[in-house]
Amino acid sequence: MGIESEPDETLPQPASIELEPDEMLLISEEVWSDYLDYVDLLEMAKPGAYVVSQTGLAGGYSVCAEVPHCANTEYYVRNALRLCEAEGEICIVFARDNAIVVSFEIIRHTIEVVN
């Protein structure tokens, strides 16, 4: 759910959750892959923020597309959370710029076939 966006200073404060200090966020391999794409994008566009859904199955980002006319990182955090909320999810801030700010583990999905 990668999203590039321009600054919009009229954004409301979105809802988000925070993990307890000893809590770990479980994320899917697909979300990890999307995060790595976001990091590659940051090479050309900074600042930004990456968020992950509470379930760890969806992720998305907001980045500055018009360097050097960028807002501060907190703007992009709020924007990514707002976009996530618009998709009906409650999200956790996973990274500010390219710095991961939560403990996490990548989960591998296995499908069991029962005959």
From 68, 62, 34, select the one nearest 48 (Cα to Cα).
Answer: 62
Q: Residue type at 5?
A: S
Instruction: Identify whether 105 is part of a domain.
Output: no
Domain containing 35 equals: 1-6+17-83
pLDDT at 23: 80
With a pLDDT cut of 90, the percent of the chain lying above it is: 37
- Cβ atoms of 57 and 87 within 8 Å: the answer is no
23-69 pLDDT, tens digit each: 889 999 999 999 999 999 888 767 899 999 988 989 999 998 777 78
Tokens of 103: 């403990």
Distance CA 35, CA 80 (A): 13
Give the confidence band of 5 by pLDDT, cuts at 50, 70, 90.
very low
60 inside domain: yes
pLDDT recorded at residue 38: 93
Looking at the domain assignment, is residue 115 inside a domain? no
CB neighbours of 93 closer than 8 A, spacing ≥ 6? 16, 49, 50, 51, 77, 80, 81, 101, 102
Query: Has residue 110 been placed in a domain?
Result: no
Higher pLDDT, 32 or 20: 32
pLDDT at residue number 110: 58
Q: Is residue 61 part of a domain?
A: yes
Flag whether 79 is in a domain: yes
- Tell me how many domains the chain contains: 1
In a domain? residue 89:
no
Is position 70 within any domain?
A: yes
